[in-house]
Structure formats: structure tokens, C-alpha cells
Structure 1
Amino acid sequence: MDWQKWHDSYDAPESPLALRLRRVQERIRLALDDCPPGPVSVVSLCAGQGRDLLGVLPGHPRRHDVRARLVELDPHNVAVAADAARSAGLHRVEVVAADAASLGQYDGMTPADVVLVCGVFGNIVDADIERTIDACRQLCRTGGRVIWTRHRKAPDRVPSICEWFEERGFEREWVTGREHVQAVGVHRFGGRPVPLRPDGHVFDFVGYDRLRETRSDGSAV
């Protein structure tokens, strides 16, 4: 998968990914609006080119309060995100070229006010989705929000994802309806954060193209 070209779909205004991006950005704005006064911490897993946060922060009144770390493995996408942050004068946005599944990449940033898990759940097996949701208890502060995405193509895992969050002390705040192929959800953490385990590794990024060919349990589709 060419993850650089994958981002080109965002430039087609009515594409499912472009519509998803606008919904994610809207939820980021609302989350930042609702953060208490003072410093705001944001972490983004598999951040890509950072279009979600970097499409909101330059014009947001809380921009100077936000410290963010975007973790992305693809070096080209890292360079694009870093250049966008630098061009916007967002000097407190750090873009890290690393494996987003390694919890040590978020050391010093947690528990965060906003955790972005966008473009992740559709590219990993079910067991790793659940493991990642469990790890959000290490990443998110009490009252903080996880903003996540997942397509609704069969098998539709959105209901299960909601259940897995809610079993772990997250409250469902908002989820797009079934009419949207690219679902966006927001869950707010009502529990107490679990100390970060820097040695933790929570998923293997398989890629949706390979997941189409193989079920999460290893059997053929």
C-alpha cells in the first residue's frame, strides 16, 4: 500500500475519506473547545500527514495551549506533517517517525486530553482493536476523549468497538449513523488512567487490503 497516494483521496471533496476527515475535524474542534483552561495534550496514533489535527489547530483559539505528538511510520508522511506544522507556526506540535503501536512513543504526553485513533481500526485484526482500546486507558485522562474511525463494510465492527470502549469505562458521546460508510466515533473516559507501560506494543498494522483477503482469525474470506 502506498500510504502517500492514499492521502490523495482527501483532496476529492465528496469522497468518503474527505467526508470522514471533516467529521473528525469537527469533533476535534468541539473537544478542544471543551478542554479546561490551561495546557492541552493531544496524541495521534498512525497520524499520517496529520490533516485531522493540523486542519483545525491553526485557526483554533486554543492553539497556543495545545502540545501534541503525532506518531507516524511513513517517512514521507512524517515530512509532510512536520512541514505543515512548521508552516503554521505550531511549534508545540511534534511529529515523530516511529511505530505508533509502541506505547513508549507517548511517554511524557499522557494522560492526554484528546487521543486520535483515526485510520487504525480498519487496518488491524479484531484482537488488536480491543487491545488498542484497552491501551487508551493509559493514554487518556479522566474526562478526555478518544476520537476514532472505522469503516462499516462487512463485517461491521463499529458496534463491537463501542462495546469494547464502554466495557472499559468510556462513555459513548457521539457516533455517526449506519448510513455513513466511514464511521467516526467519540468516547469520553470516565475512569482513572492506568499508568503508561512504555514497553507495551498494542497492534500490528496489517493494512485493510490484506484484511480483505484474510479474516481476523486467519481463515480465508
Structure 2
Amino acid sequence: MRVISLCAGQGRDLLEVLAGHPRRDDVRARLVELDARNTAVAEATARAAGLEGVEVVTADASITDHYRDLTPADLVLVCGVFGNITDEDVERTVDACVQLCATGGTVVWTRHRGAPDLVPVICEWFEKRGFDRQWVSEPDAGFGVGVHRFHGEPQPLATGMRMFTFVEEAEKQGRNS
């Protein structure tokens, strides 16, 4: 099983679950995160848990090159990204998921449910691209999480492509108006 995590932080979305999973040794994962402090924690956590199939990379997670030999993946984690980029970059990243995700693979993504609530639109973007909605948190849940399974045919990974750029809060508000 192949797993990629964009903007993985300290790997908390994957490492704690994987450490106790019976198929942990069947997983080859790449966690990409720009902050070296976070990757140091993720690396230490993976090594302490004996997760030999986990690779932690300190790099710009928005560049497709970092996923080249692990796509299409069975699980794609895009957590903590969609609330920090423009709507256009959210859609571009959803577009890229047809290159990142294997047929039958799953994308787990997050986005706040505050105004403007882009979650319904993100769901539409995924569904227009061959993903089936598996689960989405309710608007009043206090958080936004979506799970989509890909039923399409993966596209070849376009190397050298930037999926997104993090923006400052003021810039996000101006573009999301």
C-alpha cells in the first residue's frame, strides 16, 4: 500500500495509526513537509515505532516531483492545506489528485467550515473528477473533513508542477470574497 501526505507536519495524521496497524509493514509512505522541526519529529516518531516503510522528506509539498515514484497512491492525505491556500489553488490541488491517487484509492482532506464554507464546492470538484464522496463532516461539527474514493483512471504525474502556494490570511480573505 502506498501513502503520500502533503504538508505532513509531524506526521500525526498517519504515524500513530500506522504504528499499531496489523498491515504496517505492507505500507510504503512518504510524508513531505517544509518545516525541518516538524520533519525531525515525524522522523523520530517513525523510527521509534519501527516504521521502516515510512520516508520523511523536508521539502516543498506543493511540488509534484516529491511524489514521483509513489504515485498513484492508495491513500493521499491533504490535511491542513485547503484552509491556507486560495480557492483556485484548492481546485488545482483537487485536479492533481487524479494524478496522485490510484483507482480505488482514497483522498482525505481538511478545510474549515467557517465562512466562506468552501467544503460543498470542494466536494463538487472531487466528484466532477471521478471521486465518490465517502464521508464529509457536517457544517456544525466544528471542523471540516472530507473523504473521497477515486473510481477514475489515474493520469500520469506531471512533474515540476506546483499545486498550491500558502497565502497570508488577508490575501485569502481578499480572494475568497
Instruction: Name the TM-score, length of structure 1 as normaliser.
Output: 0.78
Task: Compare relative contact order (CA 8 Å, sep 6+) and give the higher one, 1 or 2.
Answer: 2
Give the direction of change, closer, same or farther, for the CA distance of 1:111–1:183 in structure 2 (3 Å limit): same
Q: Is the 8 A contact 2:63 2:162 kept in 1?
A: yes
CA contact (8 A) 2:84 2:172 kept: no
Which string of whole-angstrom CA distances, capped at 9 and with x for unpartnered residues, describes residues 17-69 of structure 1? xxxxxxxxxxxxxxxxxxxxxxx000000000000101100110110100000
Cα RMSD of the aligned pairs, angstroms, is 1.3
Q: Deviations over 1:145-176 (max 9, x none)?
A: 00000000110000010000001010001111
Question: Tell me, which stretches of 5 or more residues in structure 1 are unaligned?
Answer: 1-39
Letter in 2 for 1:140: C
* Aligned counterparts of 1:58 and 1:172: Cα–Cα separation in 2: 27
- What is the aligned partner in structure 2 of residue 105 from structure 1? 66
Distance 1:89 1:112 in 2: 22
- In the alignment, what sits opposite 2:98? 137
Percent of residue pairs identical:
62
Take 1:102 and 1:217, find their aligned partners in 2: how far apart are those partners? Answer: 25
Would the aligned equivalents of 1:126 and 1:216 in 2 still touch at CA under 8 Å?
A: no
The counterpart of 1:192, out of the listed 146, 153, 171, is: 153
Deviations 1:44-101 (A, max 9, x none): 0000000010110011011010000000000100100000000000011000000000
Q: Secondary structure at the match of 1:70?
A: strand
Q: Which of 110, 117, 125 is equivalent to 2:86? A: 125
Residue 178 of structure 1, CA deviation: 1.2
- Give the Cα–Cα distance (whole angstroms) in 1 for the partners of residues 6 and 21 of structure 2: 21
Verify the 8 A CA contact 1:128 1:203 in the aligned structure 2.
Answer: yes
2:118 to 144, 148, 157: 157
* Residue 36 of structure 2 corresponds to residue 79 of structure 1: no
Matched AA of 1:89: G
- Asked if 1:41 corresponds to 2:11, the answer is no
- Confirm or deny that 1:114 pairs with 2:54: no
Q: Deviations over 1:103-149 (max 9, x none)?
A: 00001100000000000000000000000000000000000000000
C-alpha distance in structure 2 between counterparts of 1:89 and 1:215, whole Å: 40
- Distance (whole Å) between structure 1 residues aligned to residue 52 and residue 175 of structure 2: 44
Look up the match of 1:214: 171
Q: Measure the CA separation in 1 of the matches of 2:16 and 2:82.
A: 22
Counterparts of 1:70 and 1:205, CA distance in 2: 18
Q: Deviations over 1:162-215 (max 9, x none)?
A: 000001010001111111121111000010000011111110012xxx32x234
Report how many aligned residue pairs link the two structures.
177
* Match of residue 18 from structure 1: none
Give distance in 2, aligned partners of 1:160 and 1:217.
Answer: 18
Unaligned runs of 5+ in 2: none
Which one-letter code corresponds to 1:214 in the other structure?
E
**If the length of structure 2 is used for normalisation, what is the TM-score?**
0.97
